[in-house]
Amino acid sequence: MRPVFFDTNLVLYLLSADEDKANTAEALLAQGGLVSVQVLNEAVSVCRRKLSLTWPEVHELLETVRAYCEVLPLSFATHERALYLAARYQLSIYDALICAAAQQAGATVLYSEDLQDGLVLGELTVRNPFPV
């Protein structure tokens, strides 16, 4: 089975007051998968800026994610692929970087609430794990 990739919003839902979303995110992440360094960086930014978490709380979240997910580095090749995806699919560069990292890792599913559910980017399909 090919790995799945998690967008930043799935990581952040671990902290959500919405119990259903928090439980869904926890169950998916517990099955394992992939994130990129960018996902971790974006999570840190939101945790500090919007959620006002302390550094120890941020580190606890990151440790949880790293316990379940392999963390992939960003590279110039990822950047180049992201530029193509951003132009081709009208994505923000940040969303395109996540999609590019997922593609390069061979993931077939990208769990994200921010991107269009069902969007197909080659062999990668975006899935929103939260029912509407």
Helix (H, G, I), strand (E, B) or coil at 22: helix
Q: Which domain holds residue 26?
A: 4-127
- CATH number, domain of 119, equals 3.40.50.1010
- Asked, for residue 132, whether it belongs to a domain, the answer is no
CB–CB of 110/124 below 8 Å?
yes
Residue 14 has pLDDT above 70, yes or no: yes
Phi, psi of 108 (to 5 degrees): -105, -15
Report pLDDT digits (tens) over 59-89: 999 999 999 999 999 999 999 999 999 999 9
- Asked, for residue 20, whether it belongs to a domain, the answer is yes
CB–CB of 67/103 below 8 Å?
no
Strand-by-strand arrangement of the 124-127 sheet: 69-72, 33-36, 4-6, 109-111, 124-127, 120-121
Report pLDDT digits (tens) over 84-130: 999 999 999 999 999 999 999 999 999 999 999 999 999 999 999 99
**Domain count of the chain?**
1
